[in-house]
Each structure stands twice: as structure tokens, then as C-alpha cells.
Amino acid sequence: MRLATLFLAAAALWSVSFAGRAQVCSSINNEVVSVDVRNDEWTAAKIKANPGDLIIVRASGLVKIAHTLLGEVGPRGAPNGSGRLDMKIGAKTVVLAVTAEEIVAKNVEARGGAAALAALQSLRRSGRLVLPGRSMLITVSDLRERPGRVREEVTFQGLTQIRAFDGSKAWQVEPFQGRKDPAMMTDDDAKPMRLSADLDGAWVDAKAKGHTLEYLGTEEVDGTVAHKLRVRLKWGDQVTVWIDPDTWMIMRELRKTVVRGAEKETETDYGDYEKVGGVYVPMSEESGPRNSPSSSKTKAVWDEAEANVPVAAEVFAFPDKAAAPAGAAR
């Protein structure tokens, strides 16, 4: 097997500032070359490795890149300041990180930053629901407000389903099942609402919320090798998210919920991110059972989104007959 040579030339390869000592090493022969990193530039470094070796680039304690080296390689500047060192290697690229917290910090930064996220006090979205294999007009709305309240509405042929969570209890109106009066939901049935009510996402400040955050390595999602994080929620359920290493946005989410002793898994793919009130939010969501194809998932297409809208308290509370009519979330 011929030797391949990896060059790290002086270039502004990352938009994120690093300073100090970096290491380039081969997992096969453990040869390590240390290089200086100052002002986003790598000083010239060279390492020899066999084809098939795993090459890991470390900077400031963060494992940035792991390449499976199969041939000649050469560095290129990372596009759009993505923080990723892109190399022409003709093989899959595995992107690693040391801690879950570092990945979460990247996600928060990419979404607009901690300050912008904290300033987002409420978010209202409205759009359409597309059912697989069906052609019908179904409108949807979603209203979330800190600290942990949510109301969702689905309207079809003049009937509106309502589900809401006021921060402690959830209730619903289910006209499609013949129940037009509001009714309280069980704690098990309210679990998805409780999770959706978190504007930041359960993985952000997970420890402070009483959750446990874990980094599970990388996994391919639709051709992209993504970071995989699992959050063990304080009420016993789990949510796993896959984060794109280029955009640092959530690509996929898997919720595992135990309802009356039975485990239920729901997978959601997120896309079409747009900035709303200084924060990037997904404007398309495709949901279905785990590993179900896109063609069989229910798709929510959000046509409009508003940040920091004024919200009346009764919108989320269990209503009396005159309070919180259908459409309050729109």
C-alpha cells in the first residue's frame, strides 16, 4: 500500500478563532505532528499515513475532523465559514467532537446565538398539513411561549382540533373523534406537548432542566454524517437529535415516549430554516414512525412565522365555555 501524504498548509480554514497547539495524528501508527494555530491559520504541517488510516485533526481540545484516507488529499478552504476542513479524499468524512456541550454550543450559535434565542419569548407559525397520498386542505397553527407553554390547532372542513399545554397540565378538543368539548389529557398523552413547549430544545441547557445529555458519536442521515445527541428527559422519555456538521442545525429528531406502558417512537425531519426574530427556525417538518420513508410521512409546511407576538394567558389554560375559541393560536 503506497503512502499518502496529508498537508495542512497555512490558510484561514476555520471561521472560529483558535490559538495554541493543534495535533494531527494517525490512528494506525499514532504518529503525532504538533502545529501552531494563530489567528485562524495553520502553520505548515505534514504527516505520512497509509491509505485507510483514520486521520484526526484536533484544535483547542475539539476533535474537528476524522477522514478515512484512501488516496491523495489536499486542503480546501471551508465553505461559508462552516468550521469544517474539507478535503478531496474520495471517501466518507466522519466529523467528531469531544463533548455534547460543544456541539450544543455550535447549534445555539448557528441558530442566532444565545442572546437572540433568549430574546425569543414567543413563536407563532401557521401553514398547511400534507398527508401522504391525499389531496385536501388542512390548515395548522403552532403557538409557543416561554416558559414552556404551547397550543397546536388543526382545522379541516370547519372543525378544529386543539391541543394545549399550560406549563403543568394539557388539554384537548377532538372534534374529529366526535368530542367537541375540552377535556384534560392524561400525563402520558401530554408528554409530546411538554417536550414541544420548550422553545430552545431539550438539548439546550439540558442539565439545568433536569435532563441528561449524551453524545453518541456520528451517524449518516440521508448522505450526511451527522452528530448524534441523546437527551434522557427527567420524566423518563428520550429524544435523540442529529445535527448537521456544516450548518449545525437539527436535521432529524427521534422521540421515544412511553404511553400507558407501551413505547412509541416518532421521527421528524426538519428543513427550510428561516430567520424569525433573529433565530433560525424550521419551516418544514416531516413526521412518521421511525425509519419510515419520506413519502409516507405527514408534512407540516409553515407558510408564516412571527416572533414575540402578544399572547393572552387564557390561550393555553383549560377554557371555560367562552374562553380561548378555536383560532386563538393564529
Grid coordinates standing for 97?
Answer: 467532537
Does residue 101 sit within a domain? no
Does residue 281 sit within a domain? yes
pLDDT on residue 72: 30
Please say if the pLDDT value at position 45 is more than 50.
no
Please say if the pLDDT value at position 154 is more than 80.
yes
Number of separate domains in the chain: 2
Amino acid found at 127? G
Indicate whether 63 and 115 sit together in one domain: no
297 pLDDT band (50/70/90 cuts)? very high
**Angstrom distance (rounded) from CA 311 to CA 123:** 10
pLDDT on residue 29: 39
pLDDT on residue 232: 97
**Angstrom distance (rounded) from CA 183 to CA 278:** 36
326 pLDDT band (50/70/90 cuts)? low
Q: Give the residue, 58 or 18, on which the prediction is more confident.
A: 58
Please say if the pLDDT value at position 291 is more than 70.
yes
147 pLDDT band (50/70/90 cuts)? very high
Please say if the pLDDT value at position 39 is more than 70.
no
Does residue 324 sit within a domain? no
What percent of the chain has a predicted confidence (pLDDT) above 90?
A: 57
99 pLDDT band (50/70/90 cuts)? confident
Of 87-96, 212-221, 301-310, 312-321, minimum mean pLDDT range: 87-96
What is the average pLDDT score of the chain? 76
Does residue 105 sit within a domain? no
Cβ–Cβ < 8 Å for 241, 252: yes
2 pLDDT band (50/70/90 cuts)? very low
Identify the residue whose cell numbers are 467528531.
96
Please say if the pLDDT value at position 21 is more than 80.
no
Which domain-ending residue is among 44, 72, 96?
Answer: 96
Please say if the pLDDT value at position 89 is more than 60.
no
Angle made by CA atoms 177, 183, 187, in degrees to the nearest 5: 105
Residue 142: give its domain's CATH number: 2.50.20.10
Which domain-ending residue is among 65, 96, 127?
Answer: 96
DSSP category for residue 282: E
Amino acid found at 187? D
Indicate whether 71 and 207 sit together in one domain: no
Indicate whether 208 and 273 sit together in one domain: yes
Indicate whether 283 and 234 sit together in one domain: yes
Indicate whether 30 and 61 sit together in one domain: yes
| Structural domain boundaries, residue 17 | 4-96
Q: Give the residue, 317 or 30, on which the prediction is more confident.
A: 317
Indicate whether 42 and 158 sit together in one domain: no
pLDDT on residue 313: 80
User: What is the mean pLDDT of the segment spanning 91-112?
Assistant: 75
Grid coordinates standing for 35?
Answer: 502545529
Which domain-ending residue is among 52, 69, 96?
Answer: 96
Indicate whether 221 and 245 sit together in one domain: yes
Strands 139-145 and 149-156: antiparallel
Indicate whether 84 and 116 sit together in one domain: no
What DSSP string describes 104-115? HHHHHHHHT-HH
Indicate whether 168 and 308 sit together in one domain: yes
Please say if the pLDDT value at position 276 is more than 90.
yes
Does residue 322 sit within a domain? no
149 pLDDT band (50/70/90 cuts)? very high
Indicate whether 71 and 180 sit together in one domain: no
pLDDT on residue 133: 84
**155-184 confidence digits (pLDDT tens):** 999 999 999 999 999 999 999 989 999 999
pLDDT on residue 327: 61
**Angstrom distance (rounded) from CA 226 to CA 112:** 20
Indicate whether 205 and 311 sit together in one domain: yes
Does residue 244 sit within a domain? yes
Does residue 86 sit within a domain? yes
Does residue 154 sit within a domain? yes
Indicate whether 53 and 147 sit together in one domain: no
**238-262 confidence digits (pLDDT tens):** 999 999 998 999 999 999 999 888 8
Please say if the pLDDT value at position 74 is more than 60.
no
